[in-house]
Amino acid sequence: MKRITAVLLSLAAAGPAVAADITVSAAASLSNAFREAAAAYEAGRPGDKVRLNFGASDALVAQISKGAPVDVFASADQEAMDKAEPFLAQGTRRDFASNRLVVAVPASSTLQFRTLADLGQAGVKRLTTGNPASVPAGRYAKAALEKAGQWPALQAKFVFASNVRQALDYVARGEAEAGFVYQTDVAAQVDKVRSVLAVPTATPITYPVAVMKDAPNAAGARAFAEFIMSAGGQAILARHGFGKP
């Protein structure tokens, strides 16, 4: 909650966005792709400025519910977007990307993994993923482990992160022997981590985007959302490893 409050205060201190500013709150796993997308959008519209705010999807919904001046929200799962439904402009919610959940290990790891049950081996002292209570990646990971019958045995090994990129950092620094992250997260730190298992999920991992009902810059919000759905926006997402929705 302290982090959420700090973000709200910083946004409030900045004052109302000028007409050309577009404030986009997006899931942490979109960081690299949306930075490139924002730069491409601005290059095509001189004078416009995209302000990016990244975090766990549920934390971003909490910010929106507390009045943060957000124009566009992009979530890493449908559940978080469902929570934001009261704040969405009608008819603007669309799926724009897909992803896959994987088990990642430090690039230098010599541990062997063939199934999720191998996460219980003695060499795995710590596991990580986003907190299932607030992070989509954590929800997907917990559900997959429950379906595989491994959650009771592995739960005590988990060190939960505030978002999926923090979990990725834990793995990259060797602070966890393995972690559940997205395929695109591994691609963002391919020199430090590698994927060892693809994790089946009960539902496809799809990312929705929507314009906020009370968006300070509604026209800009719609334009940026359209750009993400466009061929150019989709090409940027594909370069960062995201699939079609």
Q: Which of 9-13, 105-109, 148-152 has the lowest mean pLDDT?
A: 9-13
Residue 3 pLDDT more than 60? no
Q: How far apart are CA 117 and CA 72, in angstroms?
A: 40
> Is the domain of 152 the same as that of 33?
no
Q: How far apart are CA 87 and CA 84, in angstroms?
A: 6
> Is the domain of 136 the same as that of 163?
yes
**At 36, which helix (H) or strand (E)?**
helix 31-44
Is 244 among the domain residues? Answer: no
Is 171 among the domain residues? Answer: yes
Q: How far apart are CA 93 and CA 203, in angstroms?
A: 19
Question: What CATH number is attached to the domain comprising 235?
Answer: 3.40.190.10
**At 59, which helix (H) or strand (E)?**
helix 57-65
> Is the domain of 121 the same as that of 81?
no
Label the pairing between strands 178-182 and 127-130. Answer: parallel
| Whole-number average pLDDT of the chain | 93
Residue 47: pLDDT band with limits 50, 70, 90 = confident
| Per-residue pLDDT, 32 | 97
Is 12 among the domain residues? Answer: yes
Residue 7: pLDDT band with limits 50, 70, 90 = very low
Residue 18 pLDDT more than 90? no
Q: How far apart are CA 227 and CA 42, in angstroms?
A: 11
Is 130 among the domain residues? Answer: yes
The total number of structural domains in the chain stands at 2
**Containing structural domain, residue 141:** 99-199
Is 245 among the domain residues? Answer: no
**What are 143's two structure tokens?**
């559900």
Is 117 among the domain residues? Answer: yes
Q: In the chain, pLDDT over 70 holds for what percent of residues?
A: 92
Residue 11: pLDDT band with limits 50, 70, 90 = very low
Q: How far apart are CA 95 and CA 235, in angstroms?
A: 15
> Is the domain of 113 the same as that of 169?
yes
> Is the domain of 53 the same as that of 74?
yes
| Per-residue pLDDT, 177 | 98
Residue 46: pLDDT band with limits 50, 70, 90 = confident
Mean of pLDDT values over 176-198: 97
| Per-residue pLDDT, 157 | 98
Is 65 among the domain residues? Answer: yes
- What SS3 class is residue 3? helix
Which of 27, 245, 24 lies closest to 135 in space, CA to CA?
Answer: 27
DSSP assignment string, 88-144: BPTT--EEEEEE-EEEEEETT-----SSGGGGGSTT---EEEE-TTT-HHHHHHHHH
